[in-house]
Structures are given as C-alpha cells and as structure tokens.
Amino acid sequence: MKILVIRFSSIGDIVLTTPVVRCLKQQIPNAEVHFSTKQGFAALLKDNPYIDKVIPLQGSIAALAKTLKAERYDAVVDLHANLRTRLLRLQMPGIPFHVFDKQNLRKWLLVKKLSQKPCEHVVDRYMKCAEKLGVHYEGAGLDYFTGDAVLPQGLPNHYHAYAIGGTWSTKRLPLVKMAELISKIDMPMVLLGGKEDVETARLLHNQFPDKVISKCGELSLHQSALVVKHARVVLAHDTGLMHIAAAFNKPVVSIWGNTVPAFGMAPFFSETHDNGGDFMAQVEYLSCRPCSKIGHGACPKGHFDCMNKQDVGRIAAKLVE
C-alpha cells in the first residue's frame, strides 16, 4: 500500500505527526510511506526510517499535484487540512483523502471565552485520521532522528537547555523575565534559537557570562536537537524544540503566554515517560487569555500579563526538582 502523509509546516507540527508515519509503516504490511512538506522542513524528515520518500513543496500547488499524481497513491493522510491541501484533493481525483479534525471551532470558543472545553491533543486527532487505514497508536510517543549530526563542542557536562525562541512575541518571555529566571538557576544554561534570537542571547550572555552559553543561530536543527537530548532539563516556550524535547522523553518545563495547552499542543510523551519532571508554567487567572490560537507581535491589551506575571521563582524551582 502506497500512502502519502501531508504536513507542510512547521517544526513542532511536523514532529507531532511522527507517530502517524511510524504506525503506518509498522502496522500496514508492505506499506510505502511518503511525506510532503515545505522544502525548508524536508531536512527534518530525511533521516526518519519510517518515511520512504520526502516530497518537498517548492513551487505551486499545481506543480506539486502533478508530481504527486505520478506516484499513484492508494491513500492520502492530510494532517494539514488547509486551502492548499483542499486544492490538492481537487487535482487528485479518485485518491481517498483522510483529513484530520483541526477543531477550529473549539479553539475559537476558547479564545472568545464561550467555552472551557479543551481540544483533544493534536496527536490523538492525527491518529484518528490514520485509524481509517486500520492502524492504531501503540503508546511509543514522538520520534526525532538526528542522522549523522554531532553534538557541538564546548558544552559543559551538565546543563539545562533553554529554547528562547518562538514565532510570535506573545509566546516568548520578555528579556527582563528571562534574565530574572536565569539568575535563579545555578546550573549552566545553553540557549537555543534561530538567527532572530542571537541578540537576545548575546545580552543574556553578557549579563551572565559564567552561566549562559549561547548557541542561537549557530546550529542546524539536528544539532539543536542533540543539545536538547543531552540536557538535564529542557526549558522552552510553546515552540518546536519543546516537542523535540518530548520526542526524546526529556523532562520539559514549558512556559505559556497567550496560547494555552488546552489548544491540544502540550508536550506529548510516550506512555513510559515519567511525568514527574514536567511542568507547564501559566498565568491561569487572566480573563484575556488565550487571546489567539497562534500569537501576536505584541500584547493586544498592552500589559502582557501572561508573561510579565510569570512566577519565575516557581519555574526555577521546578528545574531544580
């Protein structure tokens, strides 16, 4: 059986699809599993042994549809469920598309404070989509494969990793709160992030030169994943490295601003993981939170209480525990 899985973006969402591709490959006899994603994320999947072929989205949807039609799939598992995948479906008649439930209405109700009913975790929704092909989730959690990447040199023997990035500003602690948090932690902190996080990391290193090691903007994603894998505890905002940490079953202390775990994007671990080391830091009493299912460039209210009122002392204590 030849199966295509689609998830165009982004890092965390793609990592969260890995139970689906594993179960398809392992539970369907002679399954050939392909994965289509944006060109910029193809490297994330190239070392996954459960994926036989990665087909990147490089140009138009029409061009991608032409490539995909030539593969003659028996089924498509659509884990993105957006306009582009609907256009693909129209251009690939006769091929069954199994589309996951985004639960956008439930998220909208949470944002508008019209309901407190949480979304199902996105992994559970992904798996429900794949179950239509006769597979089931076996409890093994997420996967992440680093290929031949090597751990960067110069790291201390024991350290915490802190993924300081986040696509949206309202998902990130302000610089002053990051500094306050780091000041309360005795163990070395290795900062991870992209080129856009380099200046923040530089300022934190200058303030704590004997404690902070910045690797922001220096590493490949696989190298950053290895830093996460070897960390004692991983501290992260609601971002892709948080999910990569969960794939390695690391203790994760996650910090949540304008988004909430109730959207179904909390760290997802294997059934063998000891959750005693995990903690989700939230300012839970705010009437304005969540203010978006994704994020904002700045707090719509101007006060940014969902991050400015984070109890960094409690977060630091959880790292010690």
CB neighbours of residue 138 within 10 Å: 14
Give the chain's domains with CATH numbers: 2-133 (3.40.50.2000), 160-320 (3.40.50.2000)
**In this structure, are residues 43 and 221 in contact, taking their beta carbons and an 8 Å threshold?**
yes
CB neighbours of residue 223 within 10 Å: 17
Q: Tokens 């950053």 correspond to what residue? A: 224
Q: Which pair of tokens denotes residue 275?
A: 């959750």
Q: Tokens 């500094």 correspond to what residue? A: 179
Among the listed residues 185, 277, 192, the one whose alpha carbon sits nearest the alpha carbon of residue 228: 192
Q: Tell me the C-alpha distance between 244 and 14, whole Å.
A: 10
Check: pTM over 0.85? Answer yes or no.
yes
To the nearest 5 percent, what fractions of the chain are helix, strand and coil?
A: 40, 15, 45
N- to C-terminal Cα separation, the chain:
47
Q: Which pair of tokens denotes residue 120?
A: 């199902």
DSSP 39: G
Q: Produce one character per residue of 200-211: b if its CB has 16 or more CB atoms within 10 Å, e if not.
A: bbeebbeebeeb
Question: Tens-digit pLDDT profile for the chain (321 aa)?
Answer: 999 999 999 999 999 999 999 999 999 999 999 999 999 999 999 999 999 999 999 989 999 999 999 999 999 999 999 999 999 999 999 999 999 999 999 999 999 999 999 999 999 999 999 999 999 999 999 999 999 999 999 999 999 999 999 889 999 999 999 999 999 999 999 999 999 999 999 999 999 999 999 999 999 999 999 999 999 999 999 999 999 999 999 999 999 999 999 999 999 999 998 877 799 999 999 999 999 999 999 999 999 999 999 999 999 999 988
